[in-house]
């Protein structure tokens, strides 16, 4: 038995990159509000603007299209509510009221849309198939001039399915509808073309790519307008107020650069490990079901359902054996909820609860995969024995 811990939860958060930590420390050692006019303020402003330019260049967008936020959640909320409120000003029943959304969005989008729905805004949920791909025909048929926003994530954080973003963007462009895509899990994993015609905004998060927690961006088309979430100094293009965190932004720029320049090599490495892990797991547990699209899939995602097991039990047993992963779904009030993503894909709630997500990074190794495969048989055996009475009682 070794003490080495195997961390395979990089989709939740990943390690701070040494170069990003260095950039953060150098910037944090300096005082200065980027909005101040004195020398220290101007130095901080220069750092923010240089970081913005670097990110814009890496992503192929204009610097003015990079709106810094506190992370992916804020970027998603800003886009979803901002476009919805623009089309349907509060209490005024605007002409663009409908929202088209996929039902497998991260909670940062999903709960924002559900909240708007509770406020009376009409929402249509775009069906997804058993692999988690949105129904393009449905989407095209329901796009019209009364749609305030279409929101479909670039790649799913639970099951890893990649959406046909270029086709969705083209359809939205044709209909003149703003299209927001949450690319938090896609950055660094997939080649991202943020200049796609019809793509209006994209959410990014720093801590998924080696920047500190608490920084991210909304990439917002220069011609797009939206209603701000919070009011104040209007620091970020008048759509986002609040003093920006210059040190975290400097670190974010370093991480974006690494993510983009290393993407091809990282993706190939992760895909090789992913396929080994999938093959190994299905070899050990022939009734295990790999969820999501096996082809259009995030290179670092392995999401598996083990029928007859509880995901939470599997997770804790793996943790005790030194392997850290996730069930992939949110757990509220201590009661394990079946994943809304799997439910939308047609998996029955009881089966859905027996799921695990292993998420790799470019620093993951063959030894990490070997360790999972080494401990898994005993873990599955114990989890099946522990879980089955509870599962039976819930039927």
**Positions marked catalytic:** 331
The answer to whether 197 and 61 are in contact (CB under 8 A) is: no
Q: How far is the CB of 288 from ligand PLP (least distance, A)?
A: 23
Most distant CA atoms of the chain, gap in Å = 68
**Residue 47 or 75: which CB sits closer to ligand PLP?**
75
Counting contacts by CB under 6 A, is residue 106 touching ligand PLP? yes
| Identified binder of ligand PLP from the candidate list 14, 54, 73, 161, rule CB under 6 A | 73
Whether residue 110 contacts residue 255, with contact meaning beta carbons closer than 8 Å, is answered with no
Total residues contacting ligand PLP (rule CB under 6 A)?
A: 14
- Segment lying near ligand PLP (by CB under 6 A), choices 128-136, 177-185, 217-225, 378-386: 177-185
Q: Is 298 in the site for ligand PLP (CB under 6 A)?
A: no
Those residues with Cβ within 8 angstroms of residue 104's Cβ, 6 or more apart along the chain or in another chain: 128, 132, 153, 156, 158, 159, 161, 340, 341, 344, 345
Cα–Cα dist 332/231, whole Å: 31
Binding piece for ligand PLP, criterion CB under 6 A, among 59-67, 89-97, 179-187, 362-370: 179-187
Name, in order, each residue with C-beta under 8 angstroms of 356's C-beta and a sequence gap of 6 or more: 303, 304, 306, 311, 314, 315, 318, 325, 326, 327, 328
Among 108, 172, 190, 344, binds ligand PLP (CB under 6 A): 108
Q: Quick one: 122 or 214, whose CB is closer to ligand PLP?
A: 214
What residues from 183 to 202 belong to the interface with ligand PLP (CB under 6 A)?
Answer: 184-185
What's the closest the beta carbon of residue 375 comes to ligand PLP, in angstroms?
A: 26
As beta bridge partners, residue 202 has 181, 219
Q: Which of 34, 72, 198, 292 binds ligand PLP (CB under 6 A)?
A: 72
Does residue 245 touch ligand PLP according to CB under 6 A? no
Task: Provide the minimum distance between the beta carbon of 211 and ligand PLP in the complex, in angstroms, as a whole number.
Answer: 10
In contact, 354 and 311? CB cutoff 8 Å: yes
Q: What does the DSSP 8-state code read for residue 16?
A: P
Burial of 309 from C-beta contacts in 10 A (0-12 / 13-18 / 19+)? buried
Considering only 32, 34, 71, 354, the residue that binds ligand PLP (CB under 6 A) is 71
215-234 binders of ligand PLP (CB under 6 A)? 216
Q: Which residue, among 6, 14, 11, has the nearest Cα to 357 in the 3D structure? A: 11
Does 182 bind ligand PLP (CB under 6 A)? Our answer is yes
Applying CB under 6 A, the residues found at the interface with ligand PLP are: 71-73, 76, 106, 108, 153, 157, 182, 184-185, 205, 207, 216
């Amino acid at each position: 038995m070794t003490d080495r811990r195997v961390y395979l939860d990089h989709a939740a958060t990943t390690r701070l990159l040494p170069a990003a930590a260095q950039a953060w420390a150098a910037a944090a050692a300096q005082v200065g509000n980027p909005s101040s006019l004195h020398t220290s303020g101007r130095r901080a402003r220069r750092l923010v603007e240089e970081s913005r330019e670097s990110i814009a260049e890496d992503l192929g967008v204009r610097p003015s299209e990079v709106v810094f936020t506190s992370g992916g959640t804020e970027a998603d909320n800003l886009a979803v509510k901002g476009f919805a409120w623009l089309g349907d000003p509060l209490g005024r029943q605007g002409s663009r009221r409908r929202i088209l959304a996929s039902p497998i969005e991260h909670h940062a989008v999903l709960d924002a849309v559900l909240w708007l729905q509770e406020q009376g805004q009409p929402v249509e949920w775009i069906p997804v198939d058993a692999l988690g791909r949105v129904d393009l025909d449905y989407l095209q048929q329901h796009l019209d001039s009364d749609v305030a926003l279409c929101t479909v994530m670039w790649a799913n954080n639970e099951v890893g399915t990649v959406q046909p973003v270029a086709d969705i963007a083209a359809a939205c462009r044709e209909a003149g509808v703003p299209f927001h895509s949450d690319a938090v899990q896609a950055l660094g994993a997939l080649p991202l073309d943020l200049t796609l015609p019809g793509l209006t905004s994209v959410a990014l998060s720093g801590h998924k790519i080696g920047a500190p927690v608490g920084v991210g961006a909304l990439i917002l088309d220069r011609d797009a307008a939206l209603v701000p979430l919070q009011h104040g100094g209007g620091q970020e293009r008048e759509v986002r107020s609040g003093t920006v965190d210059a040190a975290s932004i400097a670190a974010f720029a370093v991480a974006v650069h690494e993510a983009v320049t290393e993407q091809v090599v990282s993706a190939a490495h992760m895909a090789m490990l992913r396929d080994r892990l999938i093959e190994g797991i299905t070899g050990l547990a022939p009734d295990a079901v790999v969820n999501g699209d096996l082809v259009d899939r995030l290179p670092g995602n392995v999401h598996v359902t083990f029928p007859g097991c509880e995901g939470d039990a599997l997770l804790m047993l793996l943790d005790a054996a030194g392997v850290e992963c996730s069930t992939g779904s949110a757990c509220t009030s201590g009661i394990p909820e079946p994943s809304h993503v799997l439910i939308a894909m047609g998996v029955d709630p009881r089966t859905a609860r027996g799921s695990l997500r292993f998420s790799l990074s470019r620093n993951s190794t063959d030894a990490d995969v070997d360790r999972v495969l080494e401990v898994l048989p005993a873990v599955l055996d114990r989890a099946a024995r522990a879980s089955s009475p509870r599962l039976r009682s819930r039927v």
